[in-house]
Amino acid sequence: MVGGELFRGTCGFIGEIRHMTIDPEGNLCGDGKRGCWETYVSLQAVLRHVRELLPEASSGKLRDRSREGSISLTFDEVVLPGSAGDPAALRVMQEEGENLAIGIGNLINIFDPELEVLGRAPNLASMFLIPIIESELKPFVLEPPAQFVLIVSSAHGADTCLMGGIAYMLDDFFSASFLQK
Ligand SMILES: [Zn+2]
């Protein structure tokens, strides 16, 4: 949101921040590019990391779900074992927070926002991730913006993208340009 209105960009692709390049030599993304932020912070990236750390996973549930390669695994299902002290889950969440901090730091430097909202991550995951992001953010941001930005989780949780799409459509519907058509 900029000035209380949705910021769409020239072609309407402003929301594709997940495809900003973090490492040109990095992981291959679904769009054919390498090193997109998404490949480090998405649920698939979390699952991949869980599998890599499988020998250390002390939680049966985390181990079983990662073996299944289940796409329904949620952040909470990684965080819950972490809250019980599972070292593999804690390492995954630490890396997730660090990678989120890199991208969020870039966004803060570009937009100087008042608020950064974590979408789709349920509250429990956000409780873990936000303190990690805040502690890892400093190397990636200029001092003044970082002092004022507030990082919170979306009130809509897993429905964040859906609610954003609805807001986008409603904004279009009620805009002056639409009514003039
Ligand atoms: Zn990409």
Contact 27, 13 (CB under 8 A): no
- Confirm whether 47 is domain-assigned: yes
- Confirm whether 7 is domain-assigned: no
Find the 73 Cα to ligand 1 centroid distance in Å. Answer: 22
Find the 61 Cα to ligand 1 centroid distance in Å. Answer: 30
Summarised one tens digit per residue, pLDDT across range 52-107 is: 776 666 556 666 666 665 556 677 777 777 777 777 788 888 998 999 999 999 98
Task: State the Cα–Cα distance between residues 129 and 133, nearest whole angstrom.
Answer: 6
Q: Which residue has the higher pLDDT, 30 or 89?
A: 30
Find the 37 Cα to ligand 1 centroid distance in Å. Answer: 7
- Residue 28's Cβ-count burial label (10 Å; 0-12, 13-18, 19+) is exposed
- Confirm whether 2 is domain-assigned: no
CATH of the domain at 33: 3.30.420.40
